[in-house]
Amino acid sequence: MVKFARTLFWIVLLSAGTVCFAQDDMSGTSASMKNFALPEYSKDNGRLQFILYGESANNLGARIFLVRPKVDIVKNDVTNIQNIVSLASLEPYPLTWTAGQVADFWKDKGHSQAVIFSENAEYDKNLRMLRGDSSVHVRSPEISVDGVGFDVDQDRRFVHIRSKVKVVIYPAARKHSGFSRDPKDNSKEEKK
């Protein structure tokens, strides 16, 4: 049994070494990763909040410089990490998609509240903030947003897109808000 556990340990260690390798900067604070998935948990209750995917990353102290990051924001009611579907290969769909196409897209991603895509970003582990100056695409079942430059504060659940913002709101969001384009749908009948 001990021999099997030792063998398993080395297999895991060697497998991890192919994905992540450290660069010696003499301080021990720098590392690089390729094709990664990093889960982030709430400091308050240990709940999985989001998963950060990317093509590559360079960690320098508390800052991680990311290439083609994707942030999968996990719904609050997800308690089992086994229910998570990897979104590592996911690409943002165009703003021109119909509500039906968007609904079909999200059918097998029940754990996800939204996904944020960008070309480059910087993640500050201490502040738990993701920032970037490149284009950004936010996709969720209710809304799609494109823009340039962004700041994401996970603890406050806040996304700020700085410029060139384009927004599409899908019918599912209008139903939840109680607003409709048809004025007849917005009127409330009084019960007597």
The answer to whether the Cα torsion of 104, 108, 110, 112 is positive or negative is negative
pLDDT at 167: 94
Q: Tell me the C-alpha distance between 143 and 170, whole Å.
A: 6
Tell me the three-class secondary structure of the chain, residue by residue: CHHHHHHHHHHHHHHHHHHEEECCCCCCCEEEEEEEEEEEECCCCCCEEEEEEEEEEEEECCEEEEECCEEEEECCCCCCHHHCCCCCCCCCCCCCCCHHHHHHHHCCCCCEEEEEEECEEEEECCCCEEEEEEEEEEECCCEEEEEEEEEEECCCCEEEEEEEEEEEECHHHHHHHCCCCCHHHHCCCCCC
Which pLDDT band, with edges at 50, 70 and 90, does 164 fall under?
very high
Per-residue pLDDT reduced to its tens digit, 48-90:
888 999 999 888 888 889 999 999 999 988 877 787 889 999 9
Position of tokens 């502040």? 127
Whole-structure pTM value: 0.73
pLDDT at 181: 52
pLDDT at 175: 57
* Mean residue pLDDT across the chain: 77
Checking if the pLDDT of 188 tops 70, the result is no
Average pLDDT over every residue of 93-97 = 94
Checking if the pLDDT of 21 tops 70, the result is no
154 vs 9, higher pLDDT = 154
Q: Tell me the C-alpha distance between 115 and 87, whole Å.
A: 9
Per-residue pLDDT reduced to its tens digit, 99-132:
989 999 999 998 999 999 999 999 998 888 999 9
Q: What is the CATH number of domain 2-181?
A: 2.60.450.10
